[in-house]
């Protein structure tokens, strides 16, 4: 992935965007913050970055307003131009068609998707499966170059309704529905998944497997045998808090633990 046997993807948590409750009326600080974080990741030796509108809480369910989509396209284009690395996008909560539109317009490389197969209950309410709609839209747009990585049994969600469907069976369903990769997480942001869950997913899914929460310099070795990449945010920010700016020293420390660098 991205020229490496094992890749590290850094999260850029974009400041509150137009349409959100936290929007402050100017795009300039949003652009400056996102570009600064992306630059810090690159200088720290990261392999790729991903944008996410995590500061936009409380989130809409399954869509975002047009102004949010437009703003994210502007931010994503600026980050892509600045860092010259592979760049991806996730738009909360479950605004997957909007994320595909941003990825296409800003010439991004991948996207992170929630609610791809099976249904679940998130903080925002009931999330339906989006696989058919999203995969067909990507095909119609001739955008197969944009990789779709999907969360399975994702964090911040209840999965009681699919308790009889194992993690491996969920991964197999994602493969059947044409996901390019699956993401395994803990129960919340900053909470690591069990190594057993990642191993189970690796054995069931033939394409890319990623760990999507709770990765630190202390535990990254535990995941390396069972996944192709990790997505890291909180532990690479100042004081280990996702709300803060990226700490280059933390990025460098993590990347020193990764082989073939």
How far apart are the C-alpha atoms of 41 and 9, rounded to whole Å? 9
Fold type of domain 7-256: TIM Barrel (3.20.20)
Residue 222, token pair as written in the block: 């535990």
Query: 24-62, pLDDT tens digit by residue?
Result: 999 999 999 999 999 999 999 999 999 999 999 999 999
Sign, CA torsion 56/59/63/66? negative
Query: 117-134, pLDDT tens digit by residue?
Result: 999 889 888 889 999 999
Q: Judge contact between 105 and 143, C-beta under 8 A.
A: no
Over range 86-91, report the average pLDDT.
98
Among candidates 60, 48, 55, 131, which has minimal Cα distance to 97? 131
pLDDT value of position 56: 98
- Measured CA angle at 251 (ends 1, 200), to 5 deg: 45
How far apart are the C-alpha atoms of 212 and 230, rounded to whole Å? 6
Q: Where are the domains of the chain?
A: 7-256
pLDDT value of position 158: 87
Percent of the chain whose pLDDT exceeds 90? 89
How far apart are the C-alpha atoms of 176 and 55, rounded to whole Å? 33
pLDDT value of position 187: 82
SS3 state at 247? coil
pLDDT reading at 10 higher than 90: yes
What contacts 24+ positions apart, CB below 8 Å, involve 243-247? 243/13, 243/55, 245/33, 245/36, 245/37, 245/40, 246/10, 246/12, 246/36, 246/37, 246/40, 246/41, 246/44, 247/40
């Amino acid at each position: 992935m991205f020229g490496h046997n094992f890749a590290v993807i850094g999260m850029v948590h974009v400041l509150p965007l137009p349409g959100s409750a936290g929007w402050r009326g100017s795009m300039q600080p949003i652009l400056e913050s996102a570009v600064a974080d992306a630059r810090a990741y690159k200088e720290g030796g990261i392999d790729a970055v991903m944008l996410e509108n995590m500061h936009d809480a409380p989130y809409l369910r399954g869509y975002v307003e047009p102004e949010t989509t437009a703003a994210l396209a502007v931010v994503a284009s600026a980050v892509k131009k600045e860092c010259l690395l592979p760049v991806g996008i996730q738009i909360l909560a479950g605004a997957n068609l909007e994320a595909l539109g941003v990825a296409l317009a800003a010439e991004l490389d991948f996207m992170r998707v929630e609610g791809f197969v099976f249904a679940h209950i998130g903080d925002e309410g009931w999330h339906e499966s989006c696989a058919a709609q999203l995969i067909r839209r990507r095909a119609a747009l001739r955008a197969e170059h944009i990789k779709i990585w999907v969360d399975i049994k994702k964090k911040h969600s209840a999965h009681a309704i699919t308790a009889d469907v194992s993690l491996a069976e969920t991964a197999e369903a994602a493969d059947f529905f044409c996901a390019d990769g699956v993401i395994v997480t803990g129960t919340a942001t900053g909470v690591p998944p069990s190594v057993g869950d990642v191993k189970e997913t690796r054995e069931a899914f033939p394409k890319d497997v990623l760990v999507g929460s709770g990765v630190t310099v202390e535990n990254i070795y535990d995941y390396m045998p069972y996944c192709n990449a990790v997505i890291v945010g909180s532990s690479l920010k100042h004081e280990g808090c996702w709300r803060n700016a990226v700490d280059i020293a933390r990025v460098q420390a993590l990347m020193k633990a990764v082989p073939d660098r």
